[in-house]
Amino acid sequence: MTSDEGTPVRVHIIGAGLIGTSIGVGLRALGWPTTISDASPKAERLARGIGAGEALKETDAPDLVIVAVPPAATSAQVLHALERWPNAVVTDVASIKAPLAAAVEHAGLASHYVGSHPMAGREVSGAAAAQGDLFRARPWVLCPDGADPGAVALVRRTAEALGADVVVTNASAHDAAVARVSHAPQVAASAVAAALASLSLSDLTLAGQGLRDVTRIAASEPTMWADIARLNEANLKETIAGIVDDLARVRDADDIGEALMDLVERGRREATRIPGKHGGRRRDWTPVTVIVPDEPGQLLRLLTDVSALGINVEDLAIEHSPQQPVGLVELSVDPARAGDLSTSLAERGWEVAS
């Protein structure tokens, strides 16, 4: 069932959207024989044109079938593929895993199915945006559940061939986790943004970076989230119920200060556990903020000066002034070097704001 390490895997991709097409482009670049199909002949032609794979022939016998259709359609396509190619391993890329695990288990087909979830962050969609590098250095979750070890190895090999960071868990743990790390944050961000409806554009000039950070994902696509919410309903409702309880406690508090202090303290404790650089805990870099004229080449000039000082920039964020032609560039550096950096940049004529 699985190919030997080193042998190209014959892969068939069902679904020529952004993810399916990107997988095809990536695997073909590695020399893997890849086919791709889509219910829409136009989408399929476009994906083939981009080089995501050949047309599937009736007689083709893929080693691996990757179902890359929208979440709500995934279950039917996975079951169909498992029945059509009983010797193949089938995986999918849907962002909710438990309903699929249950469906293949119920059909008695779990041994050849490995749920997977490549976490490639893109705000665009469609084959035209596809890139073989889309998965490089991004988490790709595998949920073996009832799968044969050989099936798991094949899907792992494919994800690793595309450069992804493989994370192994199981379908129900995955869905419970994404409710908290992905789905509930989206719902909360949308609710915070929706609460701005009563404000005038002039009121909104008081918005700072905090609001922009919290609401960045509020720009997401509503229909996609409706599907995700339906498929992860129980976990999402449980997570939101907890958040509602926390917020209602603040709303109803006799002493709002005490209630908020408790919540902010708990949140702060959990936030430090979110992995940052290299999977470890977030390092405490020290920010050095520099005021940079908002014109071409200035950021480069700044980084050239920083580099000349032999100081590594661990992170960098830009905030633009609402009224002036300058940007505030926050450089995160080793705390032991931050003082040096501020002084040296000031000596070189930069306006250092912190």
DSSP state letter for 2: P
> Of 226, 335, 343, 347, which lies in the binding site for a copy of itself, with binding defined by CB under 8 A?
226
Contacts of 87 (CB under 8 A, 6+ apart): 1, 61
Task: Give the containing element (helix H, strand E) for 229.
Answer: helix 222-231
> Of 30, 123, 125, 150, which lies in the binding site for a copy of itself, with binding defined by CB under 8 A?
123
Of residues 96-115, those binding a copy of itself (CB under 8 A):
none
When the beta carbons of 105 and 225 are compared against a copy of itself, the nearer one is 225
Q: Is 177 a binder of a copy of itself (CB under 8 A)?
A: yes
Which strands, in side-by-side order, build the sheet including 351-352? 315-320, 326-333, 286-293, 351-352
Q: Is 126 a binder of a copy of itself (CB under 8 A)?
A: no
Q: How far is the CB of 13 from a copy of itself (least distance, A)?
A: 19
Of residues 185-214, those binding a copy of itself (CB under 8 A):
185-199, 201-214
Token digits for 69? Answer: 């259709």
The per-residue DSSP string of 245-270 comes to HHHHHHHT-SSHHHHHHHHHHHHHHH
Token digits for 8? Answer: 């190209």
Q: Is 323 a binder of a copy of itself (CB under 8 A)?
A: yes
When the beta carbons of 63 and 305 are compared against a copy of itself, the nearer one is 305
Q: Is 39 a binder of a copy of itself (CB under 8 A)?
A: no
Q: Is 49 a binder of a copy of itself (CB under 8 A)?
A: no
> Of 49, 126, 150, 287, which lies in the binding site for a copy of itself, with binding defined by CB under 8 A?
287
Mark 59-78 with x for binding to a copy of itself (rule: CB under 8 A) and - for no binding.
Answer: --------------------
Q: Is 351 a binder of a copy of itself (CB under 8 A)?
A: yes
Q: How far is the CB of 304 from a copy of itself (least distance, A)?
A: 6
Residue 225 half-sphere exposure toward CB, CA atoms < 13 A: 17
Q: How far is the CB of 207 from a copy of itself (least distance, A)?
A: 4
Amino acid in the structure at residue 148: D
Largest distance between two CA atoms of the chain: 72
**In whole angstroms, what is the distance from residue 85 CA to residue 63 CA?**
9
Q: How far is the CB of 250 from a copy of itself (least distance, A)?
A: 6
Q: Is 343 a binder of a copy of itself (CB under 8 A)?
A: no
> Of 55, 61, 76, 219, which lies in the binding site for a copy of itself, with binding defined by CB under 8 A?
219
When the beta carbons of 84 and 230 are compared against a copy of itself, the nearer one is 230
Amino acid in the structure at residue 236: L
Q: Is 35 a binder of a copy of itself (CB under 8 A)?
A: no
When the beta carbons of 31 and 279 are compared against a copy of itself, the nearer one is 279
Cα 149–Cα 135–Cα 212 angle in degrees, nearest 5: 130
- Site size toward a copy of itself (CB under 8 A) is 140
Q: Is 88 a binder of a copy of itself (CB under 8 A)?
A: no
Task: Give the containing element (helix H, strand E) for 234.
Answer: helix 233-251
Q: Is 84 a binder of a copy of itself (CB under 8 A)?
A: no
Q: How far is the CB of 81 from a copy of itself (least distance, A)?
A: 25
Q: Which residues of 22-56 are buried (b: 16+ CB within 10 A; e: fewer)?
A: bbbbbbbeeebbbbbbbeeeebbebbbebbbbeee
Q: Is 160 a binder of a copy of itself (CB under 8 A)?
A: no
**In whole angstroms, what is the distance from residue 263 CA to residue 266 CA?**
5
* Distance of alpha carbon 181 from the chain centroid: 10
Q: How far is the CB of 41 from a copy of itself (least distance, A)?
A: 26
* DSSP-derived 3-state class of residue 312: coil
When the beta carbons of 56 and 225 are compared against a copy of itself, the nearer one is 225
**In whole angstroms, what is the distance from residue 53 CA to residue 35 CA?**
4
